[in-house]
Amino acid sequence: MRFNNLRVVVISGLSGAGRSSALKCFEDLGFFCIDNLPPQLLPKFVELCTQSRTEINKIALGIDIREREFFSDFENVLSELMADGCPIEIVYLEARDEMLVRRFSETRRPHPLAMHKPVIDGIKLEREMLKSLRDKATLIMDTSDFNIHQLKSEVFRHFLEAGKNKKIMVNIISFGFKYGVPYDVDLLFDIRFLPNPNFVTHLKPLSGKDREVAEYLHASPETGLFLDKFIQFLDFMMSQYEQEGRYYLSIGIGCTGGRHRSVFIAETLESHIKEIGYDTTLMHRDIERIKV
């Protein structure tokens, strides 16, 4: 069987880590997506896609572990196809235990491998059962701190074909250094030198989205000077990245708590980047962490 121009991506991983959402992202990228295709049908399906009369050359397959025999058969078929030279990429999604427990708690769903036991028992069992698949993965993605927009940006970052999109996708994340630095950003800026609204009594309960906080920060000469130089620098960098053929850029902006200064700067930056014609996603990771 010849696999010219065929791209097969298998999306799997821990329950609750975002497999279904990731599959939708691949659909947006033009992949033909199938969730839990019976294993015995996979070789025939791949064969049909290799025929010249079909236009299907990008396939994304979602697979979970709810049926143990199903997963075992799928892994065997997968190994056989890879041995035959089929170009298969495996995306393995995972998250920290506490985040997975929280997600199951929020949806009030039992874990598929621990229907009448604590969720954490199912998570531990699933990690062990999926170890061999994880070892084969071409990409391991930790979704612990992702929302749906960040997940989509990360999928686009790895699987959007070069040259298909003329504009860079810019992901902006505001955060608080006291809660840790985002693990996967291309450019990181520390703006803790700007005046801190947290020490102003009437501004403390607000966030960087509020007009009063914006006015307070704009009143400082340092803010205006920083924004001028910051935007000028990023405009230059964006043009260079675009010439390089890059299609994704992640920018982290941090202050102490991630509620006031970083949020304000991130909002300002997103507005500017949209104005000059780029697509953006924006996440305020720690805006709700501070309790007043």
Which of 39, 52, 76 has the alpha carbon at shortest distance from 3?
Answer: 52
For residue range 217-275, what is the model confidence (pLDDT) as tens digits?
999 999 999 999 999 999 999 888 877 666 678 899 999 999 999 999 999 999 999 99
Q: Output 206 or 36, whichever has higher pLDDT.
A: 206
Is residue 195 within 8 A of residue 265, CB to CB? The reply is no
Q: State residue 10's pLDDT score.
A: 92
Backbone angles phi, psi at 282, to 5 degrees: -135, 130
Q: Tokens standing for 145?
A: 């701190």
Domains and CATH numbers, the chain: 7-159 (3.40.50.300), 169-284 (no CATH)
Cα distances from 108 to residues 5, 18, 117, 168, in angstroms, run 43, 16, 13, 38
Q: Cα separation of 167 and 265, whole Å? A: 22
Output the CA angle 94-96-102, nearest 5 degrees: 105
Q: Output 193 or 288, whichever has higher pLDDT.
A: 193
Q: State residue 163's pLDDT score.
A: 47
Q: State residue 66's pLDDT score.
A: 61
Mean pLDDT of the chain: 87
pTM, rounded to two decimals: 0.58
Diameter over CA atoms, the chain: 70
